Amino acid sequence: MTDRYAVFGNPIAHSKSPEIHARFAAQTGQDLHYERILAPLDGFALSVQEFIQAGGKGANVTVPFKLEAYDLATELTARAQVAGAVNTLVFDDDLIRGDNTDGIGLVTDIVTNAGQPIANRRVLLVGAGGAARGVILPILEHSPAELVVSNRTAARAQELAAQFGGRIQARSFDEIQGEFDLIINATSASLAGDIPPLAPALFGKQTLAYDMMYGKEPTAFMRFAAQQGAAVRDGLGMLVEQAAEAFFIWRGVRPATASVYQALRQQLQAQ
């Protein structure tokens, strides 16, 4: 019998997850079907329960339901607990296991695909929302020399710093000093064509500026960073890598990602 998986979101029609997982399944010989499910804004939990009753084995969760998925899970992985949000669910009898693969997706794309080490590097994480929270632990596991979090609302960055017991530093935008080896934009500013208020001096010739957003053209953040001489990368690789981690959690097989990334990149360029 073909195993069923899905991605829940609202909106969801734009999701590339069904194509990604179809490519993974074909590559690895796994018998599964993956679909999009548009859950009502006030009916996420019910939609998931209906999917489970219909034989669903697991699911991805995207905006705006990652916090609800966290609450729905009956068991949480350590990285989901730290993130305070869930993007991957595993259904096993009465158990709903919640995980978060965003951070490992980001780190894999930076370290493995982009060839940029995090160990002993200065890292600046811009934003203190769910996207930022989900990647802090995987970044720290790579032992950066320094991890600074900055946010328009300074109190939220300070809350994160307190949560991690001094392993990260919270700074207002005007307090950040010196060049960083890696600057990650975890805000949604790029969706509106905006740029976080970062000083040009934070970027250097050796800096990798990484935007979690992606599109056909470089984001405003990427264009600004490139003007300062930094190398730039968008979040398409993170999308593929977090999906690969979810696939591994569900199927116990780790798919190769390079060909899937290239196919999606070519599709974006053709739009």
Name the token pair of 37: 């499910």
130 known ligand binder:
yes
- Phi, psi (5° rounding) for residue 33? -125, 135
Residue type for 185, please?
N
Name the token pair of 27: 């590559």
**Cα angle: 79, vertex 81, 83; to 5 degrees:** 65
214 known ligand binder:
yes
Name the token pair of 53: 């009753």
**H or E element, residue 258:** helix 258-270
235 known ligand binder:
yes
26 known ligand binder:
no
242 known ligand binder:
yes
71 known ligand binder:
no
Q: 125 near 135, Cβ under 8 Å?
A: yes
16 known ligand binder:
yes
17 known ligand binder:
yes
102 known ligand binder:
yes
Rg of the chain in Å (alpha carbons): 18
Residue type for 106, please?
L
Q: Tell me the longest C-alpha to C-alpha distance in the chain.
A: 58
| Cα–chain center distance at 73 | 19
Q: 87 near 112, Cβ under 8 Å?
A: no
254 known ligand binder:
no
Task: Pick the catalytic residue from 57, 66, 205, 216.
Answer: 66
62 known ligand binder:
yes
Indicate if 216 belongs to the active site: no
- Can you tell me the distance from the alpha carbon of 241 to that of 139, in angstroms, rounded to the nearest whole number? 15
29 known ligand binder:
no
User: Catalytic amino acids?
Assistant: 66
Q: Which residues are annotated as a binding site?
A: 15-17, 62, 87, 102, 127-131, 151-156, 212, 214, 235, 242
- Annotated binding-site residues for NADP(+) read 127-131, 151-156, 212, 235
Binding-site residue set for shikimate = 15-17, 62, 87, 102, 214, 242
